[in-house]
Amino acid sequence: MTEIVAERAVLTGKHLIAGEWVGAEAEFSSDPAHGPAHRFAVGTPELVDRAARAAEAAFETYGATSRGERAAFLDAIAHEIEARGPAITEIGTQETGLPEARLEGERGRTVGQLRLFARHIEKGEYLDRRHDVALPDRKPLPRPDLRMIQRPIGPVAVFGASNFPLAFSTAGGDTAAALAAGCPVVVKGHSAHPGTGEIVAQAIDAAIRTTGMPAGVFSLIQGGKRDVGHALVQHPLIKAVGFTGSLVGGRALFDLCAARPEPIPFFGELGSVNPMFLLPAALKARGAEIAKGWAGSLTMGAGQFCTNPGIAVVIDGPEARAFAEAAAAALEPVGAQTMLTDGIAAAFRAGRDRISAASGVREVLTSTCDLRNATPYLFATTGRDWLADEVLGEEVFGPLGLVVSAADFDEMQAIARSLHGQLTCTLHMDAEDGEAARSLLPVLERKAGRILANGFPTGVEVADAMVHGGPYPASTNFGATSVGTLSIRRFLRPVCYQNMPEAVLPADLV
């Protein structure tokens, strides 16, 4: 194993465009939770054009690299990120307010998924190779020789996420999947953590140089207003977009992608309330235990996870009321937590006010938070009021829970059917709940990309079988995942070669 030598990272405050660190006249200042602020160059549509053209030029070479060469590149990126681990943790905690343990764990996930994709493409199964041999003597018509393989689609745009400065940002899952597929990447860095993004970009730049990859295979553009994001998704050389963020922002970019003269796929993860359904036997036997686990999941990372389980659906009765009281008792000792940005904190308070003002909602636990802090809140409502008001099903990004008490199991099913698309749904059940679970499961399969039993959805395993996506508005493409090896399929397309001589075929087909 190669020894990891710690690199001392020095911020340039510049963009990385095809191997060059480029400044700009306009600058913006980072807004860290603590520690020093730094100045960064502001992106422009002109820089987007430069990066996209460099990516297209690089695709001619990078798209034809061998799987082994790309695997070595991904391994090199992981190595360079690890070499900069202390610097990444230091500035990441300053910019986001996340604790060191969270940043170090997320860094481990980031390098782990880069290496996972390296091993995945080495195996070659993702290519889905198919061969129908020629049947020249077939009657009434002969069959040609047909070979099919998955090929990279071209340059990909990736938008960094606010809540995952590493795993869903500069070298996160979208970037790793696109690079593994053979697609150059242009990243629009998130302004909540520009220093973290730059140090990771330095790691990628170093890996490009050590492995001899074309410089245009990766670019990072920092800051900028909406015109930069719009220029990126509308650039004619960009062939797909990966996005993790808000429903409003993601839908706007999705519409721009669809309105292009050449529409392109927009793979957006846009939010979810991740409802839990507590079935009667489990609620009676383990209600207090489930409530305690829910409180921990609800407040993890100040509730700033896309899989945060914001809704608990129960059947009304003494056990339901005891569950709500137990959840409140578990949430009450949780102190104020720093949120990722002032804007996210303000949006959390607005969501809290929206829920508390809804008809039929009562307060179970209230607290006080201001500035960039978040404290937990718990509300309760009836199934009837839930079904009458879609506002109650809208995501509140932060540590806020809502207990929905259904009158009976039929109303619980009606609540399940009323759901919009979700990333996850959870069934808490005991053996006696089997019939009810079997009845709910076909409904939930149509609502979510991942269905859990007796667990909590925060924490997404990076693996072959993981699905992190779901019907709209959880994501814009219900057939895709943004986590796990299956996510590489977003940046590939099938190509069939008919009667093609072997000397001309792609190496992976011979």
- Which residues are annotated as catalytic? 269, 306
DSSP annotation of 3: P
Q: What is the DSSP string of 133-193?
A: --BTT-SSS-B--EEEEEEE-S-EEEEPPSS-TTTTSTTSHHHHHHHHHT--EEEE--TTS
* Distance (Å, whole) CA 88 – CA 103: 8
Tokens of residue 503, six digits: 């000397």
- Tell me the β-bridge partners of 426: 276, 452
* Residue 442 CB-density burial (10 A; 0-12 exposed, 13-18 middle, 19+ buried): exposed
* Distance (Å, whole) CA 75 – CA 378: 44
Rg, Å, the chain Cα set = 24
* Distance (Å, whole) CA 447 – CA 467: 13
DSSP annotation of 475: B
- Of the candidates 257, 249, 208, 189, the one whose C-alpha atom is nearest the C-alpha of residue 47 is 189
Longest dimension (CA), the chain: 80
Give the contacts of 108 (CB within 8 A, at least 6 positions apart). Answer: none
- Of the candidates 142, 144, 140, the one whose C-alpha atom is nearest the C-alpha of residue 132 is 144
